[in-house]
Amino acid sequence: MKKVKKGNAGYVSYEKKKRTAVTAVMFAIPLVIFFTGLIQTGTRLNLFTLVAVLGMLPAARSAVGWIMILLQKPADPEAVSQTEKRGPDLVRGYELMVTAYEGRLPLDAMVICGNQVACYSSAQKGDLPMMEKHMEKILTTNGYHGVRVKIFRDLRPYLERVEQLEKDPEKYRAGISFTPDERYPDLSREELIKHTIMAIAV
């Protein structure tokens, strides 16, 4: 199973398979320990049971992550293919479940150019203005001032925006000063904006 990094198309499907396997193993280990102790001593009142119970704690934690990823859907294939086609030179991200105290919203696709972040969400529920403001606030707090986030619920206007950004990217980058982050010296400002958004996504 080839690893798919967060922010890339296919991440959700990869994580579902990976976390299913990891969670199954995490539960299997304490069960094996418990039954080994039960067979050897003839009673569950032994040290093996204590170890097995303690082993269930990380297994339960793994199960929570597994359930969270099961609730997510892969990105709309059309949104992914059209974003790749229409914005090949833009910084792109896919399958991000962005979270806030007030709620969460899945982003199928996202492009970044200068101070413009355009996102598409196929979710029928969710407060788009709230999430836009939340993402802008997070970016401002992290030093990316003036960034405007627009989340589209309809694919067509989103793709039109992608084409606009792709057609004349320097227009949207003009006048923006940038000092590389010493922690990530190889990343551009737009890649760092993507990195920051991924940090608030599960």
Res. 1 pLDDT band, cuts 50 70 90? confident
The span from the CA of 172 to the CA of 164, in Å, is 10
pLDDT, tens digit, 9 for 90 and up, residues 74-131: 999 999 999 999 999 999 999 999 999 999 999 999 999 999 999 999 998 999 999 9
The per-residue pLDDT for 202 is 84
The span from the CA of 76 to the CA of 82, in Å, is 10
| Beta strands per DSSP E along the chain | 91-100, 103-113, 116-120, 148-152
User: What global pTM score does this model have?
Assistant: 0.87
Widest Cα–Cα separation across the chain: 76
Res. 31 pLDDT band, cuts 50 70 90? very high
Q: Which residue has the tokens 């910084």?
A: 91
| DSSP state string for 95-129 | EEEEEETTEEEEEEEEEEETTEEEEE---SSS-HH
Sign of CA dihedral 9, 10, 16, 22: negative
Question: What are the sequence ranges of the domains in the chain?
Answer: 11-70, 77-199
Cβ-based neighbours of 14, under 8 Å, separated by 6 or more: 1, 2, 3, 4
pLDDT, tens digit, 9 for 90 and up, residues 168-200: 999 999 999 998 888 989 999 999 999 999 999
High-pLDDT (> 90) share of the chain, %: 93
